[in-house]
A = this chain, B = another copy of it.
Amino acid sequence: MPDLSVDKGKLQLKNPIMTASGTYGYNLEYEDFTDLTKIGAIVTKAITLEPRDGNRGQRIIETECGMINSIGLENVGIERFLREKLPVLNNRGISFAVNIAGASIDEYALLAKKCESAGIKMIELNVSCPNVQHGCLEFGVDENILEALVKTVREVFTGCLIIKLTPNVTSIEKLGLACRNAGADAVSAINTIKGTGIKLSFENGKFKKEQVTGGYSGRGIKPAALGAVLRLKKVLDIPIIGMGGIYSLNDVFEFFASGAEAVQIGTANFTHPDIAGKIVSELDSFMNNNGFKTLDELKGALRNE
């Protein structure tokens, strides 16, 4: 039996297949479709200090090669998460990371502290949120602010600290380095790409328009995601968790080839609610059938040719 585990510093996973924040709910949403305990880790929806309603109006739209979402961080807030959702994750033995989002460095620190106290072993910082302190730029676009943010969180959180990077920057490398310098255990990449989806129709002499501006995800972002992972891999010595448009084991291999140690599946869950568990099985069979004993062996084969 091949060993699928990921063992890279504090990033400890039973296998490298995770599910991406915002696409997998808080805990049991997909349990009818796949065995959640088989998944490397599910990442919860972004959790904020207070419950949030998110954005108004149409929130998603399909595009030719993916979709746009503008959910706007709707969530139940950390208190209700800890009270209602966390026990279920723990009781069912589901591996997970909590994705947290704050409006200030203090808020991130407070969220992380609460996670630490609740015994949570892995958090992912969503740094694509508007930074209220610094003129509504996102935290994730300025390496100095990001480094300060990660340092502060690092001081209060002892578990595996993952920073989720946004691709909407001039240099993702600088941001990755800032995370590493501040003591992050891993980075994940990429969050959604800024984009707009428009659906036009023309009837009875008039245009009808559906339009959503927000984050672009799905198949169409995979090349940008692979590129980001490759660039990060060149400068980082901490593990990278890759994501963006993963729909198959072959896609997972492309991320491994680019330098990812683990991956997350997002949009694909919507069409294939059983995909995470299925890819774990496929990876296991592939390694088994082809004599790869460990993940590192497989990754080595993918990276060197």
How many angstroms between the C-alpha atoms of A16 and B223 in the bound complex? 30
Within 8 A of B (CB), among A247-275: 250, 253-254, 257-258
How many angstroms between the C-alpha atoms of A205 and B289 in the bound complex? 10
Is the beta-carbon distance between A222 and B63 smaller than 8 angstroms? yes
How many angstroms between the C-alpha atoms of A222 and B230 in the bound complex? 23
Q: A170-B170, A213-B227, A302-B207 are in contact. Are A64 and B196 (CB under 8 A)?
A: no
Is the beta-carbon distance between B205 and A291 smaller than 8 angstroms? yes
Copies in the complex: 2
How many angstroms between the C-alpha atoms of A290 and B63 in the bound complex? 26
Q: What is the distance, in angstroms, from A213's C-beta to the closest C-beta of chain B?
A: 6
Q: A169-B170, A198-B254, A198-B257 are in contact. Are A219 and B65 (CB under 8 A)?
A: yes
Within 8 A of B (CB), among A188-207: 193-198, 200, 202, 205-207
Interface residues on chain A, size class: 35 or more
With CB as the reference atom, state the residue of chain B lying closest to A226.
Answer: B196
Q: A65-B65, A305-B208 are in contact. Are A224 and B216 (CB under 8 A)?
A: yes
Is the beta-carbon distance between B68 and A223 smaller than 8 angstroms? yes
Q: A200-B254, A227-B194, A257-B198 are in contact. Are A64 and B205 (CB under 8 A)?
A: no
Say yes or no: is A220 at the interface (Cβ < 8 Å to chain B): yes
How many angstroms between the C-alpha atoms of A65 and B221 in the bound complex? 9
From B206, B219, B231, A220 is in contact (CB under 8 Å) with: B219
Say yes or no: is A301 at the interface (Cβ < 8 Å to chain B): yes
Say yes or no: is A56 at the interface (Cβ < 8 Å to chain B): no
Interface residues of A (CB under 8 A from B): 63-66, 68, 141, 168-170, 193-198, 200, 202, 205-209, 211, 213, 216, 219-224, 226-228, 230-231, 245, 250, 253-254, 257-258, 290-291, 301-302, 305
